[in-house]
Structure 1
Amino acid sequence: MSSNASTYSNPFAVDPAEIRDINVHARVPVILDASNSTYFAWKTYFTLLFRENNLVDHVDGTVDSRSMVDAAEWTVIDVTIIWWFFTTISKDLFHTVVSAGDDARAMWVKLNGLFTDNKLQRRVFLQQEFFDCRRLKTLADELRDIGAKVDDDLLLSTLTTGLNEDLATPPLTSP
């Protein structure tokens, strides 16, 4: 082994100090909350953060964290990811998902499950919000996440429903 080689027991050679120093709020600039439509953005930011820092294995289930109990670096990174989750979710969600002994994978599964497991209830909530506000793109993405189809015609008709009368097509007049 060369003197420059990593000495971490983590088989993926990620330096826990570098991971702990990441400003998660700069990388995930949204707070996940069940009462609004932040899930798609929150999940997307975290997915990119995991990919960028070679941390996907902590949340995707490819590595059994129980087999990593003796790998101190793995544990430090896993705990850091859990802290990230806790500081980027609402207090209500925190109280819903917090549980002693959970690893980052368990937390990731719980948080995602809250927004995708009860698809019918979530679909009704999202569709109601979809038709009641102007954040159509975000809501359409979240509806697609749970398997609901939102085509361009629906997006366009929903968007144009609330247009000012001055922008509407003028009526045809007879000569």
Structure 2
Amino acid sequence: MTGSNNASPITIESKIHPATTITNIKTVIPITLEIESGQYNSWATLFKLHYKACLVYDHIKNKPETTSSSTETTKQSNDWEWLDAIVLQWIYNTISNDLLHTIINKTATTYDAWVAIENLFHDNKSARAIHLMHKFSNTRLDGFPNVSAYCQELKVLADQLANVNAPVDSDRLVLQLIAGLNEEYDGIATILQQQDPLPSFYTARSKIIQVERRKAEQALHASKAAGSALTATTQCATSSDMNLQDDRTGGRGRGRSGRRGRGRDAYGRGRSANYWPNQFYNPWPNPPYDPYPSFGPSPQAY
């Protein structure tokens, strides 16, 4: 028990700092921030969560003032600068090259880089807000391959508007989501807009996607049914053609009379009883020459 009473308490300083365990910042911040993108809000939100989890949230604030010159104070200052360099690398590794060359400074701290990026995306807010609001109000489902892509674009635009201090509230976002649907979704649009209060954006999105999936399943079933009907019709037509061909030919080696044989009857190509070799067939041959026609008196009468 005595040993346990004399044991020193475990402090955060005596452990490995969480910031030093991050070997690839892309695993926790998968966004690459670009100047023209609308992902600043998402990027900043993920970074703030990561800063808190790694105990370096104070590095996006001004460096603390130090008035003492003691050895302990100097060590704390060195440790802070060491951690600040790690956190600054996180920022540099999650932004585009153009953005990096815009804000990089050899004497910059994490706070300096953070403020520079924030000011860059919040610059000229009024003009950007007008442009984004126009784009938001004219977004339609017909311009996207599916409902998911349409909803994602609306959410990105809403986030961009929030970045320029022109936030879109939940009801406005849902109403725009409904207004941008085409006539194929009139049914669900009517149901959603009649609800009081309006559903959340994600609830409305989920219901519209359910309708989209049902329509896709119905189209698939209809396509399969049409394919089956076409196959049956083709098989029936082929069978009818074969039967018709048999009726025309009477079968192999069968004449019109229905009797089997090599040839056909008198109306066909086969031989008949009146066939004369090497002569033109004449079913009604000329009678023999009569020198005394029946219409005149015979020579014996004179």
Q: Which runs of 4+ in 1 moved over 4 A?
A: 3-8, 67-70
The one-letter code matched in structure 2 to 1:154 is R
Aligned to 2:119: 113
Residues 3 and 51 of structure 1: CA distance in aligned 2, closer, same or farther (over 3 Å): closer
State TM-score, norm by structure 1: 0.76
Whether contact under 8 Å (1:59, 1:108) holds in the other structure is yes
Output aligned runs, 1:97-108, within 5 Å.
Answer: 97-108=103-114
* Correspondence for 1:78: 84
Matched, 1:136 2:165: no
CA contact (8 A) 2:38 2:159 kept: no
Q: Distance in 1 between matches of 2:65 and 2:133?
A: 37
Asked if 1:19 is matched to 2:25, the reply is: no
**Aligned-pair CA distance for 1:129:** 4.5
Any conservation in 2 of the 1:32–1:39 contact (CA below 8 Å)?
yes
Q: Which residue of 2 aligns with 1:44?
A: 45
Equivalent position to 2:181, from 152, 160, 163:
163
Structure with higher Rg: it is 2
Give yes or no for contact 2:19–2:55 (8 Å, CA) kept in 1.
Answer: no
Give the equivalent residue in structure 2 for 1:59: 60
Pick from 162, 168, 182: which aligns with 1:150?
Answer: 168
Indicate the residue corresponding to 1:173 in structure 2: none
CA RMSD of aligned residues (A): 3.0
Question: In the alignment, is the contact (CA less than 8 A) between 2:125 and 2:164 conserved in 1?
Answer: yes
Greater CA drift, 124-133 or 97-106: 124-133
Identity of aligned residues (%): 30
- Tell me the matched-pair count: 163
Residues 155 and 83 from structure 1, CA distance in 2 versus in 1: closer, same or farther, beyond 3 angstroms? same
Q: Larger deviation: 110-119 or 145-154?
A: 145-154
Query: How far off its partner does 1:95 sit?
Result: 1.1
Task: Give TM-score, length-normalised by structure 2.
Answer: 0.47
Q: Aligned-pair distance for 1:50?
A: 0.8
Deviations 1:98-153 (A, max 9, x none): 11100111001001111123312332343355346532223223322332142334
CA drift at 1:72: 2.3
Query: Offset at 1:5?
Result: 5.0
Task: Give yes or no for contact 1:14–1:54 (8 Å, CA) kept in 2.
Answer: no
C-alpha distance 63-14 of structure 1, shift in aligned 2 (>3 A):
farther
Q: How far apart are the structure 1 equivalents of 2:89 and 2:121?
A: 20
Consecutive unaligned residues of structure 1, counting only runs of 5 or more, are: 170-175
Confirm or deny: 8 A CA contact 1:116 1:145 kept in the other structure.
yes
2:227 equivalent in structure 1 = none
1:168 is paired with a residue whose SS is helix
Between stretches 40-49 and 152-161, larger displacement belongs to: 152-161
Structure possessing the higher relative contact order (Cα contacts under 8 Å, 6 or more residues apart): 1
Contact 1:86 1:94 in 2 (8 A): yes
